[in-house]
Amino acid sequence: MILVVFFLVIVNIFLWAFAISNSVGVMTKRRLARRRMIIATIIVVVAAIAILYPVASMIGGSFASKQVSRNIPEVKPGNFFNVIKTMAKNLVPIEGKRMNIKQEYIDAAVASRSSTNIRLETAPYSVYEMEIDGKRMHLAKIGKEGSKWLYLNEDDLSEVHLAVPASEEQRVKAVKFTWTNYPDALSKGDFGRYVMNSLILVVINTIGALVSSTLVAYGFSRFKFKGRGWLFMVLLSTMMLPAQVSLIPSFIIYTKLGWYGTYLPLTVAAYFAASPWNVFLMRQFFMGLPLELDEAAKIDGCGPMGILTKVIVPQSTAVMLTITLSTAVFWWNDYFYSLIYLQDQKMYPVALGLTAFDAKYFNNSSLKAAATVMMLVPPITLFFFQKFFIQGTVISGVKG
């Protein structure tokens, strides 16, 4: 319900933007266009922030140290600026501030108290914001004296205060990045092994998909044979086929073959052009390549295999890259197939491993965040090649 209202509001803003830009008659066309552009930019920026926010807050969380207990954000009804502030705070790891103090200041402070009932803390010392004699100051707690706490003024370390114990809310907050979550996640919960497993799966499947779909697409695009159109229709219709229909028998067959719990069920199919999308994409691309080069190569004495490796493949780096990237991302992200076919946790690829990791370290949210971010990094890195992804989506989407 709330979502629908929220959505209607967005649509309204959008329509309203049009209404303004249309109703003002005196405006010149250029000013109208500029105004429309500004409104569009604002909406796009807000939407982009909404998309990035979950990712960014996860990245922020991955740098927090384990000891930080999350505070429930303070609600100020109607104050939406506070929302923005809190959201921004979630993006950076914030902890209670701690500081180191030279031993001479500590010794001087203890000497100045001349009490035997002092129990000193160990460094680093927590810093609190407190009001003493009507003055707000930052005080570092160095120890206890009886029921009171002993503080040093952060700005003037020779200034000693004895005051009531401070509460956790009075802790001075500071941004502090902890880098150790990343190496910890890799070494602790087998996460490094999961990453390696995924890389193996990605490489094997990508090679299989590339080789097999190139061969099949070449067969479909460059040779005339009986039943070609019919077979291609079968190939296209398998795109629409829900995977579940063949999933259960495949599972049974693989189990009978003794392949359950190995990588074979996850990889073998790739070598037999299992993805009709790849074949379709590749065939569309090959159809667009000029036939004259094939003819020239044929005259020079190239056989069909020679034409494929010397003429077609060198021209097809773009579509090959598209397929490489989409296959790699698919297998890096795969959860369903590995969940079904793998048993041993040591063989888990990264997506399935992440859920195991999540269950094991359920109370260490920053370690989990670090692992999640590591799983995010490769697909985001591949973003530099986004042109090829988008090309793939567009070719299969629009021309199909």
SS3 153: strand
Using CB under 8 A as the binding rule, whether residue 376 contacts other proteins is answered as: yes
Query: Residue for token digits 């190139």?
Result: 214
Binding map of other proteins across residues 17-36, x = CB under 8 A, - = no contact: -xx-xx-------------x
- Residue 310 DSSP one-character state: I
The one among 111, 164, 240, 291 contacting other proteins by CB under 8 A: 240
Neighbours of 288 (CB within 10 A): 12
Backbone CA torsion sign across 301, 306, 308, 309 = negative
Binding map of other proteins across residues 339-368, x = CB under 8 A, - = no contact: xx----------xx-xx--x------x--x
> Per the structure block, which two tokens stand in for 16?
């309203």
For residues 119 and 126, give the distance between their C-alpha atoms in angstroms, rounded to a whole number.
15
The one among 175, 236, 253, 287 contacting other proteins by CB under 8 A: 253
The amino acid sitting at 186 is: L
Using CB under 8 A as the binding rule, whether residue 386 contacts other proteins is answered as: yes
Binding range to other proteins, per CB under 8 A, among 45-53, 116-124, 130-138, 155-163: 45-53
Using CB under 8 A as the binding rule, whether residue 315 contacts other proteins is answered as: no
Q: Toward other proteins, which CB reaches closer, 132 or 356?
A: 356
Q: Toward other proteins, which CB reaches closer, 88 or 203?
A: 88
Closest C-alpha among 133, 134, 152 to residue 142: 152
Closest C-alpha among 110, 161, 157 to residue 135: 161
Binding range to other proteins, per CB under 8 A, among 10-18, 161-169, 181-189, 309-317: 10-18
Cα–Cα distances in angstroms (integers) from residue 359 to residues 22, 301, 333, 348, in the given order: 55, 62, 19, 14
Q: Toward other proteins, which CB reaches closer, 175 or 248?
A: 248
For residues 397 and 35, give the distance between their C-alpha atoms in angstroms, rounded to a whole number.
33
Q: Toward other proteins, which CB reaches closer, 100 or 383?
A: 383
Maximal C-alpha separation, the chain: 104
Closest separation between CB of residue 335 and other proteins, Å? 4
The amino acid sitting at 260 is: Y
Closest separation between CB of residue 50 and other proteins, Å? 8
Q: Which residues is 68 bridged to in the sheet?
A: none
CB 53 within 8 A of CB 89: no
Closest separation between CB of residue 358 and other proteins, Å? 7
Q: Which residues is 95 bridged to in the sheet?
A: 174
Beta strand 148-153 pairing with 160-163: antiparallel
Helices (DSSP H) in the chain: which residue ranges?
Answer: 2-23, 29-62, 80-91, 103-113, 181-187, 191-222, 228-240, 244-256, 264-267, 276-287, 291-299, 304-307, 313-315, 317-333, 336-341, 350-360, 365-381, 386-394
Binding range to other proteins, per CB under 8 A, among 95-103, 147-155, 184-192, 333-341: 333-341
CB 14 within 8 A of CB 39: no
Binding range to other proteins, per CB under 8 A, among 78-86, 140-148, 173-181, 188-196: 78-86
Closest separation between CB of residue 18 and other proteins, Å? 4
Binding range to other proteins, per CB under 8 A, among 100-108, 144-152, 173-181, 379-387: 379-387
Binding map of other proteins across residues 83-102, x = CB under 8 A, - = no contact: x--xx--x------------
Neighbours of 396 (CB within 10 A): 17
Q: Toward other proteins, which CB reaches closer, 34 or 148?
A: 34
The one among 25, 28, 30, 77 contacting other proteins by CB under 8 A: 77
Q: Toward other proteins, which CB reaches closer, 29 or 135?
A: 29
Binding range to other proteins, per CB under 8 A, among 7-15, 100-108, 181-189, 289-297: 7-15
For other proteins, the binding residues in 219-238 under the rule CB under 8 A are: 219-220, 222-226, 228, 231, 234-235, 238
Q: Toward other proteins, which CB reaches closer, 174 or 394?
A: 394
Binding range to other proteins, per CB under 8 A, among 96-104, 124-132, 213-221, 310-318: 213-221
Binding map of other proteins across residues 261-300, x = CB under 8 A, - = no contact: --------x-xxxx----x---------------------
For residues 345 and 179, give the distance between their C-alpha atoms in angstroms, rounded to a whole number.
27
